[in-house]
Chain A
Amino acid sequence: MTEIIANPQAEDGAEPPVVRVETAGYATATPMLFQYRVLKAVILREMSQRHGQYRIGYLLSIVTPIIGIAVLMVMFNFRGKVVPSSMPLGVFVVTGYPLWQGFQGLYTKVTAAAGRSDPLLMFPQITQLDLILATIILEFATNTVVFFVLCVGVMVIFHTDGPVDPLGVIFCYWGCMWLGSALGMILCGLQRAAPLVVQFINTFMRFGMWFSGVLYAINRLPNWLWPYLKWNPILHLIEGCRTLWTPSFVAPIFSPTYVISIGFVLTTLGFVVERLSRRLVG
């Protein structure tokens, strides 16, 4: 049970008591510690549920995206010259598809977070925001490990140099997941109030990969399309990731400021919608 025991702004002029949270009468904890405990419980449960069903469950979470990448590479080989000449095929794929997957995975899983774990909401300690945060933390951790394995794999298999700016590359990857999380938070809140809107956005997002530079670099497209595609922050991040890995590849569009601004706007909106939907649902 989450219960703020005392009101810090006591009206009768009495000494302001210490705010603490009581948890089922067994242990008292600061709100921060309490929140940490709830998140830890939900994350570990989610991990067991998602990966712990099979002996190789954890391995599968790494192998599945690798298979996706392998299939994409075979496709690129058949399609012929789509990869910029300044960049090995492996680097082009690993700086495109996993970033899109990171964005899409986060936004779909965060959108479904509260619905999927709805029974958990009957525990008074757990809120919709806890489920969302637990999903985000788990996805960030798992995807980062997978991305690291993919990057090392590409460097070993294709005998390519590592990224010139590894920190920049990882920031681009996290940026995609950040945008996915923020969009997921908005859609998670909207899901209950306006499910049709979410369905429409989901349908639209299916085509997102075609406009995000996963299958081709932007300079392969006609110039008149660029002003429209520039609105897409994922395209900025993918193009930026390629530039930061291989400086000889110069991305025509890459604006970290634009991406960060979009990220902050979406995150703020996500928190607002989540709060409103929580009030709406009760």
Chain B
Amino acid sequence: MSIELVNISKTFTTLGRRRTVFRNFNLVIPKGLNLGVIGPNGAGKSTLLSLLAGGMHPDSGKIRRNMSVSWPIGYGGGVSLNVSGVVNCRFLARLYGKDPQQIVDFVTDFTELGEYMTWPVKTYSSGMRSRLNFALSMAIDFDCTLVDEGMGAGDQFFRTKADALIEERRKRSSFVLVTHNLPEVVAQCDKVLVLGGPEPELCDNVEERVKQYIRDMTDLRDKKSHLLTQPHSVNAGE
């Protein structure tokens, strides 16, 4: 069971300018692998998640999915604010062919939102929203879970519960974690994919590669700040 990206190319055109994010990119994610994806903003991390999920199609190349893949979880894009938590649960259940009541029960129980589950999501606090979003994403047992920018949610008690569930889920399925939180990558991932360089780089030694990435980023920042702080040279003689 795996997801295979074979010779993937993806280019975006924004304001008439073409930008290639992936060119003949290959990647295999077997079941059970926890992959961290890091890189500066605009490097193509979220694009990669969308390609893996199937929400976006490559310009060329093939994506072979032999295991179930979640939607990119993390920012709650699929949660409708105008309807209740229960309606959101039912929608997801119908979409994935699950028993709606089972999903409602799991989410209600896990989030402990009680009667708020029947209220429109727009009336929730941000903490309640993130709890709902997290529970919805965990309600379905995917072979591969795609996580965009972390899954932190709720208070300390909820986080402990959530961490335990993630840990339990990670043992039997794959995680592709896109994040700027580098310690999280070191702690949770078996491999790391670094985007933003000349070529995407897949490394087994996560800790060492993350350290290298931090050094690269620091050097880059120093260079930029050096350029910014340099006085403007005006050649008045010419």
Interface residues of A (CB under 8 A from B): 1-3, 22-27, 29, 37-38, 40-41, 44-45, 48-49, 52-53, 119-126, 279, 282
Contacts and interface: CB of A to CB of B under 8 A. Distances in A.
A38 B72 CA distance: 18
A122 B140 CA distance: 16
A119 to B, nearest CB: 4
Nearest to B122: A53
Contacts of A2: 54
Interface residues of B, number: 35
Given A44-B94, A53-B120, A125-B95, A24 B68 contact: yes
Contacts of A44: 90-91, 94
Contacts, number: 89
A108 B228 CA distance: 49
A40 B72 contact: no
**Interface class of chain A by DSSP:** mixed
B93 to A, nearest CB: 8
Given A53-B83, A119-B77, A282-B56, A45 B96 contact: no
Contact of B53 (A37, A38, A120, A124): A124
**Interface class of chain B by DSSP:** loop
A123 B87 contact: no
Q: Interface centre among A41, A121, A125, by most B CB within 10 Å?
A: A41
A120 B79 CA distance: 9
A85 to B, nearest CB: 48
A231 to B, nearest CB: 36
Interface in B116-138: 120
A282 B53 contact: no
Given A1-B69, A49-B83, A121 B55 contact: yes
B83 A45 contact: yes
Interface string B44-58: 000000100111110
Given A122-B77, A123-B78, A24 B83 contact: no
Contacts of A49: 80, 82-83
Contacts of A45: 80, 83, 87, 91
Contact of B54 (A26, A40, A53, A124): A124
Contact of B55 (A26, A29, A38, A123): A123
A41 B100 CA distance: 11
Given A1-B69, A26-B98, A49-B82, A124 B140 contact: no
Contacts of B140: 24, 26
Contacts of A37: 94-95, 97
A110 to B, nearest CB: 19
A122 B71 contact: yes
A119 B80 CA distance: 9
A24 B78 contact: no
A22 B59 CA distance: 24
Given A25-B143, A38-B95, 8 more contacts: A23-B96, A25-B68, A45-B87, A49-B80, A122-B53, A123-B55, A123-B71, A279-B57
